[in-house]
Amino acid sequence: MSDIAERLNSIKSTLPEGVELVAVSKFHPVAVLREAYNAGQRVFGESRVQELVDKIPEMPDDTRWHFIGHLQTNKLKYLIGNVSLIESVDSLRLLEMIDDLSFRKGVITRVLMQLHVAAEETKFGFTPAELIDWFATRGFESLKATHICGLMGMATNTDDDERISSDFRTVAETRKRIIEVAPDLRGFDILSMGMSDDYQAAIAEGSTHVRIGSAIFGQRVY
Ligand SMILES: *Cc1c(COP(=O)(O)O)cnc(C)c1O
């Protein structure tokens, strides 16, 4: 078995049933993704549009792609219709553009709203209060071709385990609050949280999707 297959299998064996593994393959060549594919992996996460678009035709048709990076609206047209989930919707303007373009192309785009809970100011996303308010005032009702499937969040980059857990807890609690203020929401089930160094803490707080890169593929060369 290849190293990648071995690491993939050993991570998968630790995931509880129902937790989906997104293999974050950004900055790694297609040959490496194929190794993971051959070991059974189907869902891959990428953070740059051009890189993702280049990889799509090189991988088997049943590969599912999640976009997980900050998305510039001028590049959106390359993603719509080509990805199974955009995990990183970090502004209402981006959401509206996704919806318009999806509608015009005749496709439904599945997305997650990205929450900003970490201490770092550089991380993108909505505050919990902003998002709860937007759902409470039923902003989602005007969407024509977008299905909001849940939330994505990143914890503070720190050795403080309590802070990490509390960041993930905030994401999970925000999802609950949103369901309280908009009880008719359907399919708002995904909590995408947890990366190589903190996915166990994320699962303990209710993560349904873990996004793991370096623990599978090794260090990235930027
Ligand atoms: C790169 C990245 C990951 C994976 O990080 P690792 O530490 O390599 O597991 C997960 N989520 C997002 C949003 C990323 O950009």
What is the total residue count of the chain?
222
The answer to whether domain 3-217 has CATH 3.90.1150.10 is no
Contact 214 CB / ligand 1 (< 6 Å): yes
Which of 44, 51, 57 lies closest to 222, judged by CA? 51
pLDDT at 88: 98
Say what the pLDDT of residue 77 is.
95
Q: Rounded to an integer, what distance in angstroms lies between the CA atom of residue 144 and that of residue 114? A: 20
Identify whether the C-beta of residue 4 lies closer than 8 Å to the C-beta of residue 37.
Answer: no
Q: Where are the beta strands (DSSP E) in the chain?
A: 20-24, 43-46, 64-67, 85-89, 109-116, 146-154, 190-193, 209-212
Give CA–CA dist 145/132, Å, rounded. 21
To test the pocket of ligand 1, the residue of 211, 214, 216, 217 to mutate (highest count of ligand atoms within 8 Å of its CB) is: 211
Confidence band of 220 (pLDDT split at 50, 70, 90): confident
pLDDT digits (tens, 9 = 90+) for 87-100: 999 999 999 999 99
Kind plus residue range of the DSSP H or E element containing 213: none
Q: What value does the mean pLDDT take over residues 125-138? A: 97
Mean pLDDT, the chain, rounded, equals: 96
CB 178 within 8 A of CB 197: no
**Cβ(196) – ligand 1 distance below 6 Å:** yes
At 221 the pLDDT is 80
The mean-pLDDT minimum among 49-53, 69-73, 117-121, 194-198 falls in 117-121
pLDDT in tens, 160-172: 999 999 999 999 9
